[in-house]
Amino acid sequence: MVFFENNRYKLGNLKFSDFLYENGTVKGWGDFSADSGLGIAEEKYEILRRCCSDKINDLGGPTVPSDIVDLVTFCNRFKKGSKPFRRVLMDPLRDEIPRNINTFAENSQTIINLDMSRRLNGLWGFNYFSNDLRTFLFKMHNNSLGLNSRVAHFIQDHSPICTFCRIERRGDAPNEDTLHLFYDCPNTENVRDGFFIWAYREERGYVVSRKELFLVHTVGNTNDVNSTTIIKTVLAKLFLKYIWDSRCRYSLPTLNGAMENVTYEIKTIVESSNEMRRHFNDSGLANLFLQG
């Protein structure tokens, strides 16, 4: 943990080329440590070295590192080959993050630090959420929702494919997992973008990110929160719940349905919590949801 914190900036600025000699071959541990100034243990660097070697082999041999990105960008993209890098560089942190949150991060393809893991594990306990919403969030963050891809492992002949895609009889319907159902499914996507443009009062063309949808909103790159981030987090969770309810009813989500459902839930929350009413007023979104 101390190593990771002390070297966060250097790790974030590493590039693929930093692991290579000028001829395109992978550096040894000693040369890499001297050049980068990072004290990565030799056994861990060997894992990184093998990853680099495998990548070079995939590309057909040594390459000129022209089209490159920093290591954090590469890991955040969740491209093939990035997982071993994340495992080596973040092992000390991952040891402290609960297993359920690590699994949720992989299922939703998000990057979660220790502070975020604590926020997520406590989110379902907010007393101004309905019992139904709290149960949903608890199951989602503990990876126990009855998604078809999961249920198919336990029930014979249960279809693993997406419920929404099956309703529309899509020939290329993928399995129903967390990322597909709540983010990638065309039926969710058509509703999702319009909803968050409306709910967050964003400009046309805005697309909510996986981080904004699945995690807790914070201020910029800090761990701080304010009224706006709190309300945006609540809106995102209510949207996820609406998608899940639509799926359980075996009906396709709609933009009007999402707007009406979330507005109703918001009014219920505000009626039971003066604190949440104050957050809505301070966020500038009160007149969108609390009219009438």
Is the pLDDT at 58 greater than 90, yes or no?
A: no
189 found inside a domain: yes
**Residues comprising the chain, all counted:** 292
d(CA 164, CA 265): 23
Q: Looking at the structure, do residues 123 and 266 belong to the same domain, yes or no?
A: yes
Return the pLDDT at 245.
97
Give the chain's domain count: 2
Is the pLDDT at 39 greater than 70, yes or no?
A: no
pLDDT band at 9 (very low <50, low <70, confident <90, very high): very low
Is the pLDDT at 91 greater than 70, yes or no?
A: no
Which whole number is the average pLDDT over 265-289? 89
Ramachandran angles phi, psi of 20, nearest 5°: -115, 145
Q: Which of 28, 63, 96 finishes a domain?
A: 96
Is the pLDDT at 261 greater than 80, yes or no?
A: yes
Q: Looking at the structure, do residues 225 and 88 belong to the same domain, yes or no?
A: no
Is the CB of residue 46 less than 8 Å from the CB of residue 84?
A: no
Q: Looking at the structure, do residues 268 and 150 belong to the same domain, yes or no?
A: yes
Which whole number is the average pLDDT over 36-49? 72
Which whole number is the average pLDDT over 110-127? 86
Residue 264 CB partners (closer than 8 Å, separation 6+): none
107 found inside a domain: no
102 found inside a domain: no
Please state the pTM of the whole predicted model: 0.69
pLDDT band at 57 (very low <50, low <70, confident <90, very high): low
Q: Looking at the structure, do residues 8 and 127 belong to the same domain, yes or no?
A: no
Q: What residue numbers bound the domain in which 78 lies?
A: 2-96
Which whole number is the average pLDDT over 242-271? 94
Q: Which of 67, 96, 125 finishes a domain?
A: 96
Exposure of 221 by Cβ count < 10 A (0-12 exposed, 13-18 middle, 19+ buried)? exposed
19 found inside a domain: yes
Return the pLDDT at 219.
86
Is the pLDDT at 62 greater than 60, yes or no?
A: no
Is the pLDDT at 92 greater than 80, yes or no?
A: no
Is the pLDDT at 79 greater than 60, yes or no?
A: no
105 found inside a domain: no
Q: Looking at the structure, do residues 275 and 241 belong to the same domain, yes or no?
A: yes
104 found inside a domain: no
Spatial CA neighbour of 209 closest among 242, 232, 176, 175 = 232
**CA neighbours closer than 13 Å in the CB half-sphere of residue 36:** 26
Is the pLDDT at 108 greater than 60, yes or no?
A: yes
Q: Which of 28, 62, 96 finishes a domain?
A: 96
Give the position of tokens 């507005």.
263
Q: How many CB atoms lie within 10 A of CB 288?
A: 16
Return the pLDDT at 99.
87
Q: Looking at the structure, do residues 156 and 269 belong to the same domain, yes or no?
A: yes
Q: Which tokens hold the place of 78? A: 């969740």
Q: Looking at the structure, do residues 143 and 19 belong to the same domain, yes or no?
A: no
d(CA 197, CA 187): 17
Q: Looking at the structure, do residues 198 and 273 belong to the same domain, yes or no?
A: yes
112 found inside a domain: no
Is the pLDDT at 78 greater than 70, yes or no?
A: no
Q: Looking at the structure, do residues 132 and 164 belong to the same domain, yes or no?
A: yes
Helix (H, G, I), strand (E, B) or coil at 201: coil
Q: Looking at the structure, do residues 37 and 172 belong to the same domain, yes or no?
A: no
142 found inside a domain: yes
Q: Looking at the structure, do residues 133 and 50 belong to the same domain, yes or no?
A: no
Average pLDDT, the chain: 81
Return the pLDDT at 95.
54
Q: Looking at the structure, do residues 53 and 142 belong to the same domain, yes or no?
A: no
Return the pLDDT at 265.
93
pLDDT band at 14 (very low <50, low <70, confident <90, very high): low
